[in-house]
Amino acid sequence: MDELLSTTAVGWVLGRSPASIRRMIRGGEVEAVRIPAGFRVAKGEVMRLAREHIEREAGRKLDDDELERLIDDVITTNEGRVGA
C-alpha cells in the first residue's frame, strides 16, 4: 500500500464515493493532507478507517498484515476495473 492514498482509493476501501470521503475530511472525520490536486490520506489513517469499517460491518477483527493485504486487494481490483 502506498504511504498516501487518494480519496478515490479510500472510497473503494470504505465503500463510499470520493466526494463522500472529501466531505468526511472537511468534517474532521478523516485526517488528510491537502495537495494542489485534492487530498491524500495517510496509510495509518486508512488502516484505522478500514479496521473500524470491517469490525462494524462484518464483526470481524483482522491483524495489521491481513488488513493491509485486504486493502491492497481492494485497490488492485478497482484499479483493474478502471483501467479495463
pLDDT at residue 60 tops 90: no
Domain range enclosing 57: 4-73
| Cα separation, 76 vs 58, whole angstroms | 21
As a whole number of angstroms, the distance between CA 40 and CA 65 comes to 22
Average pLDDT in the 74-80 region?
93
**For position 84, what pLDDT does the model report?**
52
pTM above 0.85, yes or no: yes
User: Domain containing 66 — which CATH number?
Assistant: 1.10.1660
Q: Which of 1, 7, 13 is nearest to 72 (CA)?
A: 1
pLDDT tens digits for 1-28?
A: 679 999 999 999 999 999 999 999 999 9
**Assigned domain for 83 exists:** no
16 and 30 in contact (C-beta within 8 Å)? Answer: no
**Residue 82 within a domain:** no
Q: Considering its fold, how many domains does the chain have in total? A: 1
